[in-house]
């Protein structure tokens, strides 16, 4: 692969931006396709471009059926889970999510909670959630899991996540807690988007221990990721 192409791929991965490289197998001519268009020495017809865009949106690599000898390789951001609240459930969830292939970041401004001793090998942020999320971004490969049970931490994260492209948004709390949360979010002008929040969080597996709840959360995140039901109706 050409050095310039490798540099573009590395830059796109760093920015968590999807990129597709379409290569003509006969001579190695390439076209690099991203959200802004396709550039390179390989011209694509409208049909070929549409097929390549479809593959990129689904994160799949394949030969193009619309043209012989063209192979499209998709480079898409790895799935990511941003966990707000360095609580016991997060201690169980973080390594499980990492084992399932997620890039995990645990966010909590409380230094005593967000420590390497409690979260060995996990990327940590002691920023306030709104600051951390503004820095990290919320793309369509990101799941936001709010576990702090503290409105001062969870609400700012939810306010940023709701209008974002995040494929999953979940928040810990009872139905009564969630109703109060919805009232605050409606007051913040986000009422039409609150239906995106999965709460009570996780699939109903019947478990109550932190590790059991973590399993149910990860299962729900994976289910939403693959089923594609990324946006619920507003409430």
Per-residue pLDDT tens over the stretch 81-118: 999 999 999 999 999 999 999 999 999 999 999 999 99
Distance between CA atoms of 9 and 76, rounded to whole angstroms? 10
Mean pLDDT of the region 111-136: 96
What angle is formed at CA 133 by the lines to CA 131 and CA 139, rounded to 5 degrees? 155
Per-residue pLDDT tens over the stretch 168-205: 999 999 999 999 999 999 999 999 999 999 999 999 99
Query: Which one of 3.40.50.720, 3.40.50.1370, 3.30.160.160, 3.40.190.10 gives the CATH number of domain 80-227?
Result: 3.40.50.720
SS3 42: coil
Distance between CA atoms of 95 and 91, rounded to whole angstroms? 7
Give the lowest-confidence range in 11-25, 113-127, 130-144, 148-162: 11-25
Domain with CATH 3.40.50.720 in the chain: 80-227
Mean pLDDT of the region 120-148: 96
Distance between CA atoms of 157 and 127, rounded to whole angstroms? 12
Residue 127 burial (C-beta neighbours within 10 Å; 0-12, 13-18, 19+): middle
pTM of the model: 0.83
Q: What percent of the chain has pLDDT over 70?
A: 96
Assess contact for 157 and 135: CB atoms under 8 A: no
What is the pLDDT confidence band of residue 1, given thresholds at 50, 70 and 90?
low
- Whether the pLDDT of residue 31 is over 50: the answer is yes
Report pLDDT for 235.
37
């Amino acid at each position: 692969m050409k050095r310039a192409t490798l540099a573009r791929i590395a830059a796109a991965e760093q920015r968590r931006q999807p990129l597709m490289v379409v290569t003509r197998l006969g001579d190695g001519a390439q076209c690099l396709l991203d959200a802004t268009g396709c550039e390179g020495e390989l011209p694509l017809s409208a049909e070929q471009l549409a097929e390549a865009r479809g593959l990129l949106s689904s994160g799949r690599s394949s030969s193009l059926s619309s043209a012989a000898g063209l192979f499209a390789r998709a480079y898409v951001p790895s799935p990511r889970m941003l966990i707000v609240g360095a609580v016991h459930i997060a201690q169980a969830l973080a390594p499980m999510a990492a084992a399932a292939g997620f890039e995990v970041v645990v966010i909590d401004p409380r230094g005593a909670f967000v420590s390497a001793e409690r979260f060995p090998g996990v990327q940590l942020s002691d920023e306030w959630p709104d600051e951390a999320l503004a820095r990290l971004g919320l793309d369509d490969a990101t799941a936001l899991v709010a576990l702090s049970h503290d409105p001062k931490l969870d609400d700012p994260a939810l306010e940023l996540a709701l209008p974002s492209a995040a494929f999953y948004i979940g928040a810990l709390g009872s139905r009564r807690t969630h109703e109060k949360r919805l009232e605050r979010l409606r007051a913040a002008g986000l009422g039409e988007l609150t239906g995106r929040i999965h709460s009570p969080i996780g699939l109903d597996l019947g478990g109550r221990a932190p590790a059991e709840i973590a399993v149910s959360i990860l299962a729900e995140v994976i289910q939403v990721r693959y089923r594609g039901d990324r946006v619920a109706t507003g409430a």
